Amino acid sequence: MKPLRKAVLPVAGLGTRFLPATKATAKEMLPVVDKPLIQYAIEEARAAGIEQFCLITGRGKTAIVEHFDIAFELEAVLRERGKTEAMALLEGTQLEPGAIVTVRQQEPLGLGHAIWCARAFIGEDPFAILLPDDLILGETPCVAQLAAVYRETGGNVVAVQDVPREHTNRYGILDIGADDGRLAEVKGLVEKPAPEVAPSTLSIIGRYVLRPEVIAHLSRFERGAGGEVQLTDAMAKMIGKLPFHGLRFEGKRFDCGDKVGFLEAQIAFALKRPELAPKVREFLRHYCPA
């Protein structure tokens, strides 16, 4: 079995739900507390032993690439002024030279098309996908949990959680077979089904570990929900041919593509920071008296 060393991060989205903030800034650069969303995703993947990254970018996303480059002037000034604490804050942005490559998705043809754009990077290797909008707070990073299942099964594995039935039309939804409460065998997949026809309420959230065979299916450019090339449809073609599981991961997921989810993430992540938690708890009491 080939080890998991690669991750693909689609970041080409326009971020329309966060306008005007995202007019001139990539939405993946929006910070939760003090770190941009994209950095949480890269750090999560690195914690699972992933060393090579492919960002699927688009126009107006250069700040993301800059973020993981050397900031020569800034670092020189900090060094000169002896600001070692500030220097230390840059640590998570420093990757091995050559660890990040970017590919442009020239047209917004869907998540499946974005992943297909990374085909040369993926080659014949298994790879993780992280959608930076989904931010996960937990003991063991979600991708590390998926990587452990990949090592167990050698097949595809997606992170899943139950959602209210009225929300099935926002997600890829699983039809499941054998289920031990943690790992569920995938029998079918539907992208954004209406609540009445959804085969379950078990939804895919933005973390996947996939075998490279998915690329052949994406290459057909079949259009699915919303007229887009859907990753979910290409994954569905692999059911029965390779082991395929949904993992009910441990941790809490915040949908940072949504304003309320993004605000909740700010609070939850701030409350995890010992230097901030007491002050945040204090002001929250003011807004929400018991």
**Using the rule CB under 6 A, is 171 a contact of ligand G1P?**
yes
3-state secondary structure 168-227: HHHCEEEEEEEECCCEEEEEEEEECCCCCCCCCCEEEEEEEEECCCHHHHHCCCCECHHH
* Nearer residue to ligand G1P within complex by CB, 126 or 246: 246
**Using the rule CB under 6 A, is 218 a contact of ligand G1P?**
no
**Using the rule CB under 6 A, is 193 a contact of ligand G1P?**
no
Cα→Cα distances 190→200, 204, 220, 232, 266, Å: 10, 10, 18, 7, 31
Candidates 72-80, 142-150, 199-207, 237-245: pick the segment binding ligand G1P (CB under 6 A). 199-207
Cα→Cα distances 179→70, 220, 282, Å: 47, 32, 43
Backbone angles phi, psi at 271, to 5 degrees: -70, -15
Whether residue 136 contacts residue 143, with contact meaning beta carbons closer than 8 Å, is answered with no
**Using the rule CB under 6 A, is 246 a contact of ligand G1P?**
no
Candidates 48-56, 145-153, 227-235, 273-281: pick the segment binding ligand G1P (CB under 6 A). 227-235
Structure tokens of 101? Answer: 């490559």
**Using the rule CB under 6 A, is 206 a contact of ligand G1P?**
yes
Candidates 18-26, 57-65, 83-91, 230-238: pick the segment binding ligand G1P (CB under 6 A). 230-238
Whether residue 106 contacts residue 59, with contact meaning beta carbons closer than 8 Å, is answered with no
> C-beta of 21: minimal distance to ligand G1P in Å?
19
> C-beta of 74: minimal distance to ligand G1P in Å?
33
Residue with tokens 């499941």: 176
Closest CA to 52 of 97, 7, 21: 7
* Nearer residue to ligand G1P within complex by CB, 204 or 270: 204
**Using the rule CB under 6 A, is 111 a contact of ligand G1P?**
yes
Q: Which of 28, 175, 185, 191 binds ligand G1P (CB under 6 A)?
A: 191
Q: How many residues bind ligand G1P (CB under 6 A)?
A: 13
The rounded distance, in Å, linking the Cα atoms of 13 and 11 is 6
**Using the rule CB under 6 A, is 7 a contact of ligand G1P?**
no
**Using the rule CB under 6 A, is 205 a contact of ligand G1P?**
yes
> C-beta of 72: minimal distance to ligand G1P in Å?
35
* Nearer residue to ligand G1P within complex by CB, 111 or 128: 111
Cα→Cα distances 124→71, 73, 178, 219, 280, Å: 34, 39, 29, 15, 47
Interacting residues with ligand G1P (CB under 6 A): 111, 131, 134, 171-172, 191, 203-206, 230-232
